[in-house]
Amino acid sequence: MSTPTHAAATADAHVVLAVKDLLHAKTRLAGTLPAEGRAALVLAMLADTLNAAQRSPEVAAVHVVTRDESVASVARRCGAAVIADPPTAGLNPALEHAASAVGARRMVALQPDLPALRPSELSAALAEARLRAQRCFTVDRDGTGTTMLSGYGGALQALFGVDSAAHHQRSGAQPLAGAWPGLRCDVDTLADLAAALRLGVGPATGAVLDGLGTPATVAGHTEGAVLLRGDDGATLFCADAAAKLGGWRQLRPGQRVRAHRDEEGRVVLVTPAATNAPG
């Protein structure tokens, strides 16, 4: 079956991203990254997501709703407008507040943690949503969450949260079926982060991750594990499962990597010594 030809790009989409609480962000990565590392990762993923959105020919403007000045500073540096987060608790009220403040006919809510997002993916999804002329959304890689919600006629009706994909579909929004792995890979867990790294992350995220973890050299193999020698002199054992999570088919002696350890010192993820950019 041939792929439908999209009409010429129309830069009419106003994209809004909400970052509610930098201090308590990404708590599911707490066992692997310290609080300051998680905060830096959140800001870096936001920057990469914003830069990808800004480069889409479908996008007229990008807006960030937040009350955090660090987030606002990153948004401004990336060319996004900043909207003050209302005192009302919750992500969905913040998105609806932003949509009301912007007042555009075509509003798009985008998750701020899509470090592997390609502009071409966002453009293709927005073009398909524009041609459908109705509310549409993209499901995350796990099949339960929502990474993008495209409104129609000024209506956003954001229903982000647990099982948001099902909630959005029940509300009448239509799922978009394109193969856009970067658009579907929001990062909440270690597995999500590993998946994004396999796709290739943006430069801001890559720079943060290159500064985290223990630089190490693969020393050899034992039964069910890889032996690493950390640059700090530590001997580290990496279970095969942790290596596979990072997307490695085989770790070779002499190979340079970064070992990420949990609070108990166990290696839970092995990443390249330098991260890859999106392809």
**Integer Cα distance of 75 and 88 in angstroms:** 21
pLDDT for 35: 81
pLDDT for 1: 34
**Integer Cα distance of 128 and 76 in angstroms:** 29
Asked whether residue 65 is assigned to any structural domain, the reply reads yes
Cβ contact 52:79 at 8 Å: no
Range 256-275 average pLDDT: 84
Average pLDDT, the chain: 89
Q: Label residue 241 by pLDDT band (50, 70, 90).
A: confident
Asked whether residue 33 is assigned to any structural domain, the reply reads yes
Q: What is the pLDDT of residues 77-97, one digit of tens each?
A: 999 999 998 877 789 999 999
Higher local confidence (pLDDT), 132 or 154? 132
Q: Label residue 205 by pLDDT band (50, 70, 90).
A: very high
Asked whether residue 3 is assigned to any structural domain, the reply reads no
Higher local confidence (pLDDT), 96 or 35? 96
**Integer Cα distance of 276 and 169 in angstroms:** 34
Are residues 159 and 268 both part of a single domain? no
Q: Label residue 9 by pLDDT band (50, 70, 90).
A: low
Q: Label residue 148 by pLDDT band (50, 70, 90).
A: very high
Give the neighbor-by-neighbor strand order of the sheet with 107-110.
81-84, 59-66, 13-18, 107-110, 146-150, 136-139, 174-175
**Integer Cα distance of 235 and 217 in angstroms:** 10
Q: CA 34, 35, 37, 41 torsion: positive or negative?
A: positive
Residue 7 has pLDDT above 50, yes or no: no
pTM of the model: 0.89
Which residues constitute the domain of residue 53?
13-190+197-203
Q: Label residue 278 by pLDDT band (50, 70, 90).
A: low
pLDDT for 10: 75
**Integer Cα distance of 93 and 79 in angstroms:** 24
Asked whether residue 279 is assigned to any structural domain, the reply reads no
Asked whether residue 149 is assigned to any structural domain, the reply reads yes
Are residues 183 and 230 both part of a single domain? no
Domain final position from 144, 169, 203:
203
Task: Quickly tell me which residue has 């987030």 as its tokens.
Answer: 71
Higher local confidence (pLDDT), 229 or 276? 229
Residue 277 has pLDDT above 70, yes or no: no
Cβ contact 196:275 at 8 Å: no
pLDDT for 6: 45
Range 143-168 average pLDDT: 94
Q: How far is CA 173 from CA 39, 137, 139, 144, 161, in A?
A: 32, 7, 11, 14, 15
CATH number at residue 244: 2.40.50.140
pLDDT for 29: 84
CATH number at residue 93: 3.90.550.10
